[in-house]
């Protein structure tokens, strides 16, 4: 059932990346299960708001070959970083613009 998730997590480097950036339990498996309920094809462009560090975005792009435009919506987190003088993005997160 979780073909992509199992293959992705079988690599040590990918598993480490997923563990460091997971925004909830079994993020990739949950995203894969949800995506299987949709009719996704390569010609689609997907807008993903609230993508976290992009693990499920990675699934959509790699497994289905779609173009994904994503944006983190955790405004409070980024405002707090700005107030603390830390203008850097969370280490390991995908670049979401």
Confidence at residue 76, expressed as pLDDT on a 0 to 100 scale: 61
For the residues 50-79, what does the mean pLDDT come to?
Answer: 79
For the residues 19-46, what does the mean pLDDT come to?
Answer: 86
For the residues 25-48, what does the mean pLDDT come to?
Answer: 88
Q: How many CA atoms lie within 13 A of 83 on its CB side?
A: 6
45: left (phi over 0), alpha (psi -120 to 50) or beta: beta
C-alpha to C-alpha distance for 43 and 40, rounded to whole angstroms: 9
pTM here is 0.62
Mean predicted lDDT score pLDDT of the chain = 77
Q: Binning pLDDT at 50, 70 and 90, where does residue 2 land?
A: confident
């Amino acid at each position: 059932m979780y073909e992509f998730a199992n293959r992705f997590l079988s690599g040590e480097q990918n598993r480490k990346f997923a563990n460091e950036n997971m925004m909830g339990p079994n993020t990739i498996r949950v995203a894969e299960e949800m995506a299987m309920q949709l009719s996704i094809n390569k010609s689609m462009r997907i807008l993903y708001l609230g993508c976290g560090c992009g693990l499920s975005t990675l699934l959509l792009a790699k497994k289905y070959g779609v173009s994904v435009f994503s944006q983190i919506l955790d405004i409070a987190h980024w405002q707090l970083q700005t107030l603390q003088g830390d203008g850097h993005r969370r280490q390991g997160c995908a670049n979401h613009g």
